[in-house]
Amino acid sequence: MTFGYCHLSIIPLREEPSDKSQMVSQLLFGDVFEIIETASPNWIKIRNAYDLYEGYIDPKQQISIDSIDYISLQEPGKTNRETMLIDTQKGRILIPPACSFSLKPTEDCFVKSTEGHLNVFDASPRETLADLALTFLNAPYLWGGKTPFGIDCSGFTQSVYKMGGVKLKRDASQQAMQGEILNFIEEALPGDLAFFDNEEGNIIHVGIILNDDQIIHASGQVRIDKIDHEGIYNEELGKYTHKLRLIKHIA
């Protein structure tokens, strides 16, 4: 088994080994992964160490690392809370929030210097999660996206929680298996996660609770809507758009 390191700002993770295949997630700078299959000279199947999500990437968009570096780099020591410039062994790049940085000396993790502040990956006060969520406001919706340049509902919650020092799985249905369930929406505090299902009972959406019966979530764009025991109410449309299934306290 071989391993890789994401040395670019963003790498698309595709469902199938083809440029035409849909993007199911993204690797962000500093992610490390196992290479679990060489599909062709142009595609490798990988498993992201951070959330164990699998998909196909272009092998030209990664750096090979050994098992020792993989073990030492797979847990983010620090992460950034804003878009920032960094100098790497491959040159200067602009990276999105929620990237991963090692606590090792920078020369050992492909980073020479950063222009901005890095936060130690450690659980922040829960009110910080709501504040971090607001930094993504109006980011466009993008299936599989995890950044302010395009993000889906669970990519949004995963990135916000990562910036707050809490690890979430990738998909909404996976995130719904984490944390402590709350019995009533009145028990929810800013930073808690609300999950929504479809007619078949499958979890299909997630957002972050704010103050004053509001929720911030990625639907068309990252937006703020009203929430009650029925679900998300979009005042612009004058109707409920998502049916509430459960609320969980994770951080």
Element spanning 88, H or E: strand 84-88
Asked if residue 196 lies in contact with residue 203, where contact means CB atoms within 8 angstroms, the answer is: yes
Asked if residue 91 lies in contact with residue 5, where contact means CB atoms within 8 angstroms, the answer is: no
Q: How far apart are CA 225 and CA 8, in angstroms?
A: 34
* Tokens 């957002």 -> residue: 207
pLDDT for residue 63: 93
pLDDT in tens, 88-112: 888 899 999 999 998 765 445 578 8
Considering only CA atoms, which of 182, 181, 184, 208 is closest in space to residue 194? 208
Structural domains in the chain?
A: 2-120 (2.30.30.40), 126-249 (3.90.1720.10)
At position 12, the amino acid (one-letter code) is P
Considering only CA atoms, which of 159, 133, 135, 137 is closest in space to residue 27? 159
37, HSE (Cβ side, Cα atoms, 13 Å) = 10
Q: How far apart are CA 147 and CA 98, in angstroms?
A: 8
pLDDT in tens, 166-195: 999 999 999 999 999 999 999 999 999 999
pLDDT for residue 243: 97
pLDDT per residue rounded down to tens, the chain (251 residues):
699 999 999 999 999 999 999 999 999 999 999 999 998 899 999 999 999 999 999 999 999 999 999 998 988 899 999 999 999 888 899 999 999 998 765 445 578 888 888 999 988 887 799 999 999 999 999 999 999 999 999 999 999 999 999 999 999 999 999 999 999 999 999 999 999 999 999 999 999 999 989 999 999 999 999 999 999 999 999 999 999 999 999 86
pLDDT for residue 1: 65
Asked if residue 170 lies in contact with residue 53, where contact means CB atoms within 8 angstroms, the answer is: yes
Residue 98 tokens, joined:
């929620």
Would you give the DSSP letter of residue 140?
Answer: B
Q: How far apart are CA 132 and CA 110, in angstroms?
A: 27
pLDDT for residue 75: 87
- Asked whether the whole model's pTM tops 0.85, one would answer yes
Residue 28 tokens, joined:
């962000």
Residue 72, SS3? helix
